[in-house]
Structure 1
Amino acid sequence: MRSCLRAVTPLVASFAMTACTIFPTPEAPRVMDLGSVDPVQRLETRHSRTLRVDTPLASEPVNGTRILTKPTPHEFQMYGNARWRDIAPVMVRDHLIDTLRQSQGFANVVTDTSAASTDLTLISELSAFQAEKIEGKTQVVIELHVEVLDNRSRKSLCVRNSRREEPAASSELNDVVEAFANTAHQLAEETLLWVHRCLEEN
């Protein structure tokens, strides 16, 4: 009996190893990005103050790497086999920083991971970062609440609610990602001009 088991065991092991190879290896998910920031026109006035840009606060599922779509007002879905390169708040922060730096309108612009001392902080909350069906058409929606904080006095200098909607050519992933990139760029440029006006008034 034992000899039979010894003979069967290698066969079972061999079959198990063979069975593991009959299923195709899952394809790695596509990793998507918002792309490089388009060239930003330099601002004529350069403020002497330094600015820290905090990563926006966000709750689930916005605070994640999945590419979200909202077919109804009460349901989130996700594009399969694809994700963002990082969580959405980090990508929005990076896009803002690149735009603010390119404008050369500030003495320095740093991220919240920097140990540098700064005069001001741009804090924000990201409440929407998804594709939605609006009047039967696919649109990308980004909604951001932003605030400029004086680091010394802890006084809020300016507050703004922004909501940008950009139509996508279709509901296909590539078209939706392109609409995300366009929306993020427009929102970053609007935020840049708004911050600059805020500092001129304060």
Structure 2
Amino acid sequence: MILRVRLGILLLAVLITSSACSLLPDQTPQRTFLLPATTQPASSEPSLDMTLRLETPRAARLLASPRILVRPNRQEISVYAGTRWNDDAPVLLRDRLIEAFRQDGRLATVVGEGSRVQSDLTLSSDLGAFQSEYNGDQAPQAVIRLDVQLLDESNRNVVASRRFDVRQQSDSPQLESVVDAFGLAADELAIQLVDWTLANTDD
């Protein structure tokens, strides 16, 4: 009887302690960053009556996450502690590229992979890098590497393919500066990708 009472008291103490701990805030606050964007001017050229679909880039598990990655040297990959993007990196980049095509205006319709709209062309891609990298004592660079294939949806043939490798130096090692560099790198990638796609698109 005494043993049962002691076990009951012990169990109650454990439950109370667990409840109290669950109410405490995390020890390390999580900072969430948006990918900065610069509004690009719309093209004055007439729209092409075509629909382009952008698929979410494929990526390795480490890249396919909201973690903000940093490569302090060639042999090591790490993350900025207590920080994250507001979405997985491939999704962030896909949404940025869709918006860039829509702002450019030369294609009549641009949709994501979830749309039921029938498309004429599809951009399929593999994300090979979305990280900051250090080179000696300099401030880190934001690095985005994307291997792209432009597909004809009528036969799924590859119309063109290219690797885009964009690097943007940050003003300082501070995380806010690194995030700004990611935004500028994404802007530059979008400009290059839009122009390349249009150059390989038949009216």
Normalising by the residue count of structure 1, what TM-score does the alignment of the two structures yield? 0.87
Q: Read off the aligned partner of 1:140 and give its amino acid letter.
A: A
CA distance 1:12–1:74, change in 2 (3 Å): same
Task: Show the counterpart of 1:153.
Answer: 155
- Aligned residue number for residue 110 of structure 1: 111
Q: Deviations over 1:144-196 (max 9, x none)?
A: 11111000021111111110110011222111100000000110011011111
Q: Residue 190 of structure 1 aligns to a residue in which SS?
A: helix
| Structure 1 equivalent of residue 188 of structure 2 | 186
- After TM superposition, the structure 1 stretch with the greater mean CA deviation from structure 2, 164-173 or 17-26, is 17-26
**Structure 2: segments with no counterpart, 5+ residues:** none
Shift of 1:28: 3.7
SS of the residue aligned with 1:80?
A: coil
Distance 1:80-1:118 versus aligned 2 partners, 3 A rule: same
Confirm or deny that 1:164 pairs with 2:166.
yes
Whole-angstrom distance in 1 between the partners of 2:33 and 2:85: 5
How far did 1:130 drift? 0.4
Relative to structure 1, is the Cα distance of residues 107 and 18 closer, same or farther in structure 2, using a 3 angstrom cutoff?
closer
Tell me the alpha carbon deviations over residues 120-142 of structure 1, each in whole angstroms, 9 at most, x when there is no partner. 00111110000001243211110
Letter in 2 for 1:73: R
- C-alpha displacement at 1:9, in angstroms? 6.5
C-alpha RMSD of matched pairs (Å): 2.7
Residue 72 and residue 44 in structure 1: after superposition, are their counterparts in 2 closer, same or farther (change >3 A)?
same
Matches within 5 A, 1:97-136: 97-136=98-137
Deviation at 1:41, TM superposition (A): 3.0
Q: Percent identity?
A: 32
SS of aligned partner of 1:170: coil
Q: Distance in 2 between matches of 1:85 and 1:186?
A: 21
CA offset at residue 36 of structure 1?
3.7
In structure 1, the partner of 2:177 is: 175
Distance across 2 between alignment mates of 1:192 and 1:185: 11
8 Å contact from structure 1 (residues 65, 88) kept in 2: yes
Aligned positions of 1:16-55 closer than 5 A: 16=17, 20=21, 25-55=26-56
Q: Structure 2 vs 1, CA of residues 14 and 29 (structure 1 numbering), >3 Å: closer, same or farther?
A: closer
Gap regions ≥5 residues in structure 1: none
How do residues 26-105 of structure 1 correspond to structure 2 at under 5 angstroms?
26-105=27-106
CA contact (8 A) 2:73 2:135 kept: no
TM-score by length of 2: 0.87
2:149 maps to amino acid = E
Structure 1 residue aligned with 2:143: 141
* Range with bigger deviation, 183-192 or 132-141: 132-141
Instruction: Report deviation, 1:26.
Output: 2.7
Task: Quote the Cα distance in structure 1 between the aligned partners of 2:176 and 2:134.
Answer: 16
- In 2 relative to 1, CA 25–34 (structure 1 residues): closer, same or farther, beyond 3 Å? closer
